[in-house]
Amino acid sequence: MKVLLLAHTEGDGSLGKAALEALGAAKSLGGELLIGLYGAEVQAAANSIAGCDAMKFFGVAGADFSTARYGSDAAACEALAKAAGAELIVMPATSRASRVAAGVAQRLGAAVDTRLTGLEVADSKVVATRWFYRQRMVGRIERDARPWLVTVDTGCFEACTAPGTASVEMLAATVTTRTQVTGIKAPAADAQTIRPDAKLLLVAGAGWGKSQPDGQKHLDEASQLILGLLSATQCSLGSSKSLVDQSGDGGALPFLTHMHQVGQTGSTPRHAKGLATCCHGEEPHVVGWRFINERRAVNLDASCGWAQGKADVLYVADAFAVANKVVELLK
Ligand SMILES: Cc1cc2nc3c(=O)[nH]c(=O)nc-3n(C[C@H](O)[C@H](O)[C@H](O)COP(=O)(O)OP(=O)(O)OC[C@H]3O[C@@H](n4cnc5c(N)ncnc54)[C@H](O)[C@@H]3O)c2cc1C
């Protein structure tokens, strides 16, 4: 079986963690490994994995492929996949690759499955694992259709790096798109509070915006404490639906958006540890914690959802006081 790792380079010409993990997934299948890379430059990226035992490296490079753009990325992927002629094509589930995966599969006449969390050979068949219905059900998939293009989620496979010098066969890809990338608008690095690679997830719930025992709301203090914890621990920030809905209406904490919402209708992040604060721990929220290994919560209510077997440790305490003390100790 021929297996192609199909990945884009990052802005600095390297391969990102997601691409290295996708390589780990492709390599673990034990077939004939081929590599297809696209980006402004691909040689440095190919060199970083030169010793991965691939039979061949293919590349599509140039200014046209420096940033994410559907037309050029799809053309590059199509050219690389056709040259490789692999039965199985493995891509990282980055936003850039995910955007073109289905379209590339269509161009190749391939079957496609996205966001796999497992990929293995069992009884000589490739078996993929992914979650359905907002991570409530896990499914194992086999397909007879070939080629089969898959994207693999981050945090599920061992990253593979093997530096050396790779010989890359460069291919041409015809770009016909009229779309031009004129620039990228991104928040400042310290304004970015969603950090998928952080060890700890801090969840802020609606309690932060509620009247406290003195009968008053303390939104400014809540903001300072949450941002203080973030800055002291470099953790990732998540929130509950109730709080992001209020923040969207301009009522609560201005740095929260719907991107922060964890849960059934939000995200399902992966972190080693999680700390929920002022969040009740309702099932539609906690289902988003499926991939958080160690869970703790701070809540004034000793019979909140976290106490019903949903957290490893529940601190029945005032989150304002706890956060204050923790930030002080970390300083
Ligand atoms: C179809 C559907 C999908 C949903 N999807 C999601 C989803 O994706 N994500 C999600 O989060 N929710 C989701 N919900 C909503 C969910 O059921 C809850 O309503 C929501 O999670 C409640 O948010 P909360 O715990 O922050 O707020 P609340 O339920 O208001 O809880 C606030 C908590 O803060 C505590 N508190 C207050 N002050 C303090 C203090 N000083 N110190 C410590 N604790 C304090 C209170 O004791 C209380 O437990 C969904 C609901 C439905 C019906």
Q: List, run by run, the mean pLDDT of 10-residue segments along the chain (331 residues).
A: 98 96 98 98 98 98 96 98 98 97 98 97 96 86 97 94 98 94 78 89 96 93 95 95 82 86 94 97 96 97 97 98 95 85
Question: In this structure, are 74 and 43 located in the same domain?
Answer: yes
What does pTM read for this prediction?
Answer: 0.76
298 CB less than 6 Å from ligand 1? yes
Q: Do 71 and 133 fall into the same domain?
A: yes
Classify residue 293: in a domain, yes or no: yes
Q: What is the CATH number of the domain that holds 154?
A: 3.40.50.620
Same domain, 146 and 12: yes
Domain that holds residue 163: 2-170
23 and 165 within one domain: yes
Alpha-carbon distance values, 230 to 165, 194, 199, 271, 298 (Å): 40, 10, 12, 15, 16
Residue nearest to atom 14 of ligand 1 (CA): 284
Asked whether residue 18 is assigned to any structural domain, the reply reads: yes
Residue 181 falls inside a structural domain: no
Q: Is the same domain home to 127 and 229?
A: no
What pLDDT score does 186 carry? 75
Helix axes 319-330, 219-233, angle to 10 degrees: 40
- 3 state DSSP class of 118: strand
How far is residue 269 CA from its own chain's centroid?
7
Which residue owns the Cα nearest ligand 1 atom 7?
263
7 and 156 assigned to the same domain: yes
Domain count, the chain: 2
Q: How much is the pLDDT for 254? A: 84
Judge if 44 and 152 occupy the same domain: yes
User: Which of 136, 226, 240 is the best mutation target for the ligand 1 pocket, counting ligand atoms within 8 Å of the beta carbon and taking the most?
Assistant: 240
Query: Is residue 183 assigned to a domain?
Result: no
Q: Report CA(207)–ligand 1 centroid distance (Å).
A: 8
Residue 130 lies in a domain: yes
User: Quick one: 35 and 135 in the same domain?
Assistant: yes
Strand order in the sheet with 200-204: 236-239, 200-204, 271-277, 292-299, 313-316
Q: What is the pLDDT, as a whole number, of residue 190?
A: 65
Q: Do 165 and 196 lie in a common domain?
A: no
Residue 227 lies in a domain: yes
* Residue 178 located in a structural domain: no
Q: Which two tokens stand for residue 146?
A: 């070939």
Same domain for 113 and 243? no
